[in-house]
Amino acid sequence: LEPAQTITLDFEISYQYKGFGNSPSNNFLTYNGTFLNNQVFPSIGYQSLGELDADGVRKEYGLQPRQRFPLIDDKKALENNALSSDADWINFEVTLGTAADQIAVAPGYLQKEWKKGNRRYFHYKMDKPILNFYSILSARYAVKKDVWTSKEGKKVNLEIYYHPTHSYNLERMMEGMKKSLSYCSANFSPYQYRQMRILEFPRYAGFAQSFANTVPYSESLGFLADVDDKKDVDFVLYVTAHEVG
């Protein structure tokens, strides 16, 4: 494509499981608690991350050892950010369809919500470019809301999307968001968005991951944590503050 030229790419993707494998199948698509990211969609151009990287395996195929990192003066490598090689900053907009009793969430601000038949739809759009790195979540969520206000008076809407019975660490998470926003705004730069959201996903994995104004957070890592304030480090607060940072 020439500079400023555009083209439309239409594609369909389906994931289907047949039987039971010897190892766990992909678990990002679930009845209640789907969490997937941009890696399930097509990438544009050659993807070096798809290369064989084990030297022993490469040798079996007659390949030279893979260069682990580009040279410091490799100008071509400087064209890529740390997260993807097919796009830099993107204008992000998405319409999601999910079950009628679930809430679907992606980075950006909710533009519209509606129901059609037995499906529920959400339209999100970012107001500024983001990295080509985004998440999509859907579950039967309850939502806790609060507001953080900067010293300059900027208000940021805070939301936690959680399983209705997993409410006992929500205040720790709210405090972690507020403390991180206060510290980082004072020491680095003003927060660039108008909202921050934490979203619970099932304990098939035990991590939290930060996307633009959206942080998927494992059920097992924070929502089910039993923190003893008298003797334990409040890792729920710290993990939350880390992801917001």
Q: How do residues 193-232 score in pLDDT, each as one tens digit? A: 999 999 999 988 889 999 999 999 999 998 998 988 889 9
How far is C-alpha 134 from the chain's CA centre? 5
Q: How do residues 146-187 score in pLDDT, each as one tens digit? A: 999 999 999 999 999 999 999 999 999 999 999 999 999 999
- Range 132-167 burial, b when 16+ CB lie within 10 A, else e: bbbbbbbbebbebebebeeeeeeebebbbbbbeeee
What pairing do the DSSP bridges indicate for beta strands 130-131 and 89-90? antiparallel
Q: How do residues 77-102 score in pLDDT, each as one tens digit? A: 888 887 888 878 899 999 999 999 99
